[in-house]
Amino acid sequence: MILTVTLNTALDITYRVPALTPHASHRVTEVTERPGGKGLNVARVLAALGHDVTVAGFAGGDTGRTLHERLADAPHLTDALTPVDGATRRTLAVVDSATGDTTQLNEPGPLVSPAEWAAFLDSYEELTRRPGTAAVALCGSLPPGVPVGAYALLVRAARAAGVPVLLDTSGEPLRRGVAARPDMVKPNADELAELTGSHEPSRATRDARRRGAHAVIASLGAEGLLAVTPDGSWQAAPPVRVHGNPTGAGDSAVAGLLSALAEGLPWPDRIARAVALSAATVAATVAGEFDAATYEDVLAKVTVRGRDSAP
């Protein structure tokens, strides 16, 4: 079982309009709703790959009830979300059909009380100690009320339980979480630059390792992934540039890394899978899903190159 943690879960709502024009009324042609937040996106991809996943975090209010309902019948998914009094946030994406551009509006999330945070910690520690827990993913932003050092605490708890832990967040939560020595961090180029002060990916990934992360897997957009690990350094990219919607591509990369870790695959195979899933997510017709045919095609063709720089 793989455990994904989404402290700031969401109900993702997507509106599609013929063209988005400021200061105008719009006729919506299509509406979709689904559970969201980075860790839930990761869980969805892991489940599609056939892995059993438990989702943890917070859910409350009417939107929280909708999350529970949508998760109830999902194959390979177990709902372990902790209840809160506040309402789970909504994220609203407006897709302009004419251009393909997406405008995103994100609510901040519910205020989490100290008692609710303590209840989550008890549940999280029990889940990490459960036999068969193969890995933990800590993903996304923090809702109001959750301490900024939350991920550092969760990293240490997973490591104390002997479970590999991947951290995917940004800003101060990332800085503090890295200091707790997670097994993997997966920042994008901007997050990595903010953490290290360097915009040169090779230098920045090495610096992030020196700050505490055992392995750093940096998302470089169309340039693929750069991984600096205790076992070596590699870079991989799709064989051709994939066009489409990049929403959720980073979450799919996390799912690729975790699934390959759970299967005991070596680093080059983990990186290849992460790149292929990320590219397949860009190519999918629905944001945050992945196109199976593109995944298989890219996985067969992606090249993972070792790098000479020392990890």
Q: What is the pLDDT along the chain (311 residues), one digit of tens a residue?
A: 999 999 999 998 889 899 999 999 999 999 988 899 999 999 999 999 999 999 999 999 999 999 999 999 899 999 999 999 999 999 988 888 888 788 889 999 999 999 999 999 999 999 999 999 999 999 999 999 999 999 999 999 999 999 999 999 999 999 999 999 999 999 999 999 999 999 998 899 999 999 999 999 999 887 899 999 999 999 999 988 887 778 788 999 999 999 999 999 999 999 999 999 999 988 886 767 898 999 999 999 999 999 754 44
- The DSSP H or E segment spanning 92 is strand 89-96
- pTM of the shown model: 0.92
The reply to whether 73 belongs to the active site is no
| 264: number of Cβ within 10 Å | 8
Among residues 251, 269, 297, 308, the one annotated as catalytic is: 251
Give me the half-sphere count of Cα atoms (radius 13 Å) on the Cβ side of residue 293: 3
3-state helix, strand, coil in the chain (%, to 5): 40, 25, 35
Do 51 and 2 contact (CB within 8 A), yes or no? yes
**Is residue 258 within 8 Å of residue 2, measured between CB atoms?**
yes
pLDDT the model gives residue 287: 63
Whole-angstrom distance, CA of residue 289 vs CA of residue 184: 23
**What pLDDT was estimated at residue 311?**
45
Phi, psi of 57 (to 5 degrees): 145, -145
Q: How far, in Å, CA of 169 to CA of 187, rounded?
A: 7
Of 254, 287, 301, 264, nearest to 103 (Cα)? 287
Read off the amino acid at residue 71.
Answer: L
Closest to 297 (Cα-Cα) out of 264, 268, 275: 275
Asked if 56 contacts 80 with a C-beta cutoff of 8 angstroms, the reply is yes
d(CA 240, CA 87): 43
Sheet holding 102-106, edge to edge: 30-36, 10-17, 89-96, 102-106
Q: What is the pLDDT of residue 223?
A: 84
Closest listed residue to residue 97, CA positions, set 29, 196, 184, 191: 29
- For residue 239, what are the CA distances in angstroms to 70, 173, 209? 36, 34, 28
